[in-house]
Amino acid sequence: MIKIARTGAGFEKERLMAPFGFKGGYVTSTWQVSVYVESQTGEKGIGLGLQSVLWSDEQVFGKMKEAGGNAAMFLITQYAAERLEGMSFENPIQLLDEIFPAVYEYAKVVTGKKDLRKTFVLNALVPIDLTLWQLYAKEQGITDFDQMLPDFAKMALSCHQEKLAAIPLITYGMSVEEIRKEVEKGSFFLKIKIGCDPDGDKDPKKMLEWDKNRLTEIHWLLKDARTPYTENGKIPYYLDANGRYESKEQILELLEHAKKIHALDQIILLEEPFKEGSDIQVGDLPVRVAADESAHSDKDVAHLIELGYKECVVQ
């Protein structure tokens, strides 16, 4: 057993070069969080994490705004770190499962939200998770990632990729000229944020029209662009809705528009189209659909598969 003697947590605020638009809102900065743990034997771990309040729970972001939401999330991280002091564990998975219920209850109080999305707490626990794995590896004398993997996860996580592709994120405010430059630099797979709230009034019709126009704008720019990394030579589009759509009819209208402008065959992934808990079947949509924020656990993933989701995005 590994016993934790001391912990600590801190953060640095990093201002973004430009507002980052997604999920119907904009963020202007990020909080870079660090967590420190030390065991009774003197071994240490330091875990880093990036807070993403808007991604985690847009209702908290709307209620507490950017600064308040980040402050709330950091308090949750700090609370979790403090709870670790004096605790013993055999592996990080067991310890995180043990503290999660109390941390989640604390988070509901801090945010004033009884139906707080678990994603909000899981985001706050990222640096906790990383620092515990570092401490665990040092205590066990592990120096290799594959050695660290539990038996049940070895098959899923032991694959070694020969090549990786960088995927630029096309946010609401990114200009067509900036997109052009990304492609000219060699980017060939674009993750495009949809679900914009152009007038800030949460009008779903305006959102849909904005998304149609944005897709048209990007496709018109890139329709003749070619890449050697796809079978048809075209630039693939990865649409990320972040749960902004309320109905299948809306999504079908967007995809029908994509078909009309001859962009449908370039949409190879549609991520998290509907709000969590919508239970909308997606298997019959004309594109591959992926889950992200709604995939909290293996049980969630099993249910999403039943709904027709083909992928889970791990970030």
Domain definitions of the chain by residue range:
2-157, 169-312
HSE of 165 in the Cβ direction (CA atoms, 13 Å)?
14
Q: Give Cα 42 to chain centroid, integer Å.
A: 34
| Phi, psi at 48, each rounded to 5° | -110, 150
Q: Which residues make Cβ contacts (< 8 Å) with residue 83, sequence separation at least 6?
A: 99, 102, 103
Identify the residue whose tokens are 């889950």: 291
Among the listed residues 85, 81, 76, 79, the one whose alpha carbon sits nearest the alpha carbon of residue 6? 85
What CATH number does domain 2-157 carry, 3.40.50.300, 3.30.390.10, 1.10.10.10, 3.30.365.10?
3.30.390.10
Q: Which CATH architecture has domain 169-312?
A: Alpha-Beta Barrel (3.20)
The answer on pLDDT for 315 being more than 70 is no
Query: pLDDT band at 254, cuts 50/70/90?
Result: very high
Predicted TM-score (pTM) of the model is 0.80
Q: Is 275 helix (H, G, I), strand (E, B) or coil?
A: coil
| Phi, psi at 273, each rounded to 5° | -70, -35
The average confidence (pLDDT) of the chain is: 92
Render pLDDT for 191-208 as a digit per residue (tens, 0 to 9).
999 999 999 898 999 999
